[in-house]
Copies of this chain bind each other. A is one copy, B any other.
Amino acid sequence: MTSNSANNRTDRLQYLTDRIEIQDVIARYGLGQDLHEDGDNDVLREWDAVFAPEGRADYSITGVPDLADIGYRELVDFMRRPGGSMSGLKRWQHFQAWSTVEISGDTATARTPHIHTHQGETDGQGWNLIQTGMFVDRLERRPEGWRIVHRTLEILWMDTFPVAA
Contact = CB atoms under 8 A, between A and B. Distances in A.
Contacts of A31: 100, 111
A85 interface: no
- Tally of this chain's copies: 3
Interface stretch (A8-16, A72-80, A138-146): A8-16
Interface in A113-147: 113, 115, 117, 119, 126-128, 130, 132-134
Contacts of A126: 159
For the side of the interface on A, what is the size category? 35 or more
The 7 closest A-B pairs by CB, nearest first: A91-B157, A93-B132, A159-B163, A160-B164, A119-B157, A93-B156, A27-B98
Interface of A: 1, 6, 9-10, 12-13, 15-17, 19-20, 23-24, 26-28, 30-31, 34, 37, 90-93, 95-100, 111, 113, 115, 117, 119, 126-128, 130, 132-134, 156-157, 159-164
